[in-house]
Structures are given as structure tokens and as C-alpha cells.
């Protein structure tokens, strides 16, 4: 698949969620997980781990989120494995969200956008995570390319790590928090290209954000290993459930390496999430 499927990102995401549920499954080939699966912490181990994940999740989950850093750690071999995984997941019908957290300015931001969102790139994904902390406006090349190609971006707003609160919760000259300023900027940008910009908002705490005007997708990491549960989601994300994508990575991967066990855990968690968010 060399280009985006027919329809805009919002249309494709809504269709995927409708048919496969809201669960976003992470592929995090952490060395400890490789070891627990009986695999070496090497490129060969990474390849085997990734192939199992693609087989288990590609035709089961709506959105699959490879954590780019764990592939990057193996250099060129890791990127080659990631390229193959992206292609395999998309061929199986999953939407691929590359968790790369890129953020820069000018031509450098444009190059990052081309790497992850250009249909001619071997890393071409359906969406990518990006960081707004060089200014939301600096994300323009990525947002523009995503909108033009029927793809999406997920902008870090209120992350699940405890260290993020001091900065993201700080006040701005406009009287709102840094995180709320990101939400407001994303809302304004989506008025031009519906739902192209998604947000990353952690599920591990009450985030204190006003999301009432935001209609785009929300990636909610923190369910499972970081302490949040599916039962927490309705309270934390009141009024923001339709395109809420709770992300579970280690909580699913820990049942591997059996493909059938991984698929069963995805099905179990998906049903649990759909029930509480109904």
C-alpha cells in the first residue's frame, strides 16, 4: 500500500473504530519483553518479535502503534524491520500510528513529516505523534502534509508521565495552561481540516483540560502497565469518547509470544473498553 486508502483520515479512522473498536495496540519491543518471550536482544530477536505482533494485531486491532525508539535502537536493521512491519500492518487492514514524537522547525520539521507521512516513504504511516514544544505553529509542515494526504497527527498535550505535569500544567500569558493552549490550537487547526489533528492525553490522571470543543481523535496512553484501567476512562474523558483511542502496550504484550494468546487479549480488552465507553 503506497498511499492512503480512499477517504480522509477522519473517515478512515471512524470506519476502523466502528469495525474493530477503539483499542490502540502498542508494539514496544523492550529488551525485557524480548527476554520474556525467549528472544535475544538483537536484530534477529526484534524481527521475530515484530513479525509475531504483525500477525497477531494486523487484522484484529483498529490502530497499531509501533514505538519507534525501540526499533531505532538497532540502527539500520531496526528501521528495516519497522518498515516491513508498517507495510504488513497496513496490508492487513490496521491503521498504523508511528509513535515517533518528532518536533522541530522549518525544513527539519518538513523532513520529519516526509519520513512518516509521505506516501513514497518506506516508513509511510497513517499517523504520527509529534511534539508541539517548539511552538504549535512549527508543526505546520506535518499538519499540512497529513491533511493533503488523508493522514493524521497526534500532538502531545497532557502526557501520562508524572514529570510532564510541571511543564504542561504551567500557566501561559493567555491565562490557560500550556496543555490547554495546545488543545485550543489543535481545535482551531481542525476547523480547517476536520480531525486531522489528534491529541495525546494520558489516562493516568484527571488531566484538567477542557476538551468540549475538540472533536478530533484522542490517544490515551497509560492503560495497563502505567496504572490506569478501562473503568477510569469514562470519568477522565467525559464527553470525549467517540474517537478516544485507549492505548495498551505492555499489558497485552506480556501474554506473548503466542499469537493466539495475544489476539485473545486484544479481543478481551477491546470488549472491556467498548462496554465502559458505550
Residues in Cβ contact with 175 at an 8 Å cutoff, skipping those fewer than 6 apart: none
- pLDDT at position 228 is 80
Q: Is residue 1 part of a domain?
A: no
CATH of the domain at 262: 3.20.20.70
pTM for this entry = 0.95
- pLDDT at position 2 is 40
Q: Which residues of the chain have pLDDT under 50?
A: 1-6
Domain of 201 in residue numbering reads as 9-277
Domain count, the chain: 1
Q: Is residue 4 part of a domain?
A: no
Residue 113, CA distances (Å) to 65, 132, 197 in order: 17, 14, 14
Q: Is residue 2 part of a domain?
A: no
Q: Is residue 254 part of a domain?
A: yes
| H-type alpha helices, the chain | 9-20, 31-36, 43-57, 68-72, 75-91, 106-117, 140-149, 164-168, 178-190, 233-236, 250-253, 259-277
Clarify whether 242 is annotated catalytic.
no
Reading the block at residue 63, the C-alpha cell is 490502530
- pLDDT at position 6 is 42
Q: Residues 4, 149: contact at Cβ < 8 Å?
A: yes
- pLDDT at position 225 is 67
Residue tagged active-site, from 14, 30, 84, 101:
101
Amino acid at each position: 500500500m503506497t498511499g492512503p486508502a480512499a477517504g480522509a483520515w477522519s473517515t478512515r479512522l471512524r470506519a476502523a473504530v466502528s469495525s474493530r473498536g477503539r483499542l490502540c495496540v502498542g508494539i514496544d519491543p523492550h529488551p525485557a519483553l524480548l527476554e520474556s518471550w525467549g528472544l535475544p536482544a538483537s536484530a534477529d530477536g526484534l524481527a521475530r518479535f515484530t513479525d509475531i505482533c504483525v500477525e497477531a494485531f494486523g487484522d484484529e486491532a483498529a490502530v497499531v502503534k509501533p514505538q519507534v525508539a525501540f526499533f531505532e535502537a538497532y540502527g539500520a536493521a531496526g528501521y528495516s524491520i519497522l518498515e516491513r512491519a508498517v507495510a504488513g500492518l497496513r496490508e492487513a487492514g490496521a491503521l498504523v500510528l508511528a509513535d515517533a514524537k518528532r518536533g522541530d522547525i522549518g525544513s527539519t520539521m518538513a523532513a520529519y513529516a516526509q519520513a512518516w507521512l509521505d506516501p513514497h516513504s518506506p516508513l509511510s504511516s497513517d499517523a504520527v505523534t509529534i511534539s508541539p514544544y517548539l511552538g504549535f505553529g512549527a508543526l505546520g509542515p506535518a499538519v499540512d502534509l497529513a491533511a493533503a494526504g488523508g493522514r493524521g497527527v497526534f500532538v502531545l498535550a497532557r502526557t501520562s508521565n508524572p514529570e510532564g505535569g510541571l511543564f504542561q500544567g504551567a500557566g501561559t500569558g493567555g491565562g490557560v495552561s500550556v496543555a490547554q493552549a495546545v488543545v485550543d490550537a489543535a481545535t482551531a487547526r481542525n476547523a480547517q481540516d476536520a480531525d486531522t489533528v489528534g491529541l495525546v492525553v494520558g489516562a493516568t490522571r484527571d488531566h484538567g483540560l477542557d476538551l468540549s470543543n475538540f472533536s478530533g481523535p484522542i490517544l490515551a496512553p497509560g492503560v495497563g502497565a502505567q496504572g490506569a484501567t478501562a473503568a477510569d476512562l469514562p470519568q477522565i474523558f467525559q464527553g470525549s469518547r467517540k474517537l478516544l483511542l485507549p492505548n495498551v502496550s505492555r499489558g497485552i504484550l506480556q501474554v506473548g509470544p503466542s499469537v493466539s494468546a495475544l489476539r485473545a487479549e486484544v479481543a478481551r480488552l477491546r470488549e472491556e473498553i467498548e462496554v465502559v465507553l458505550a
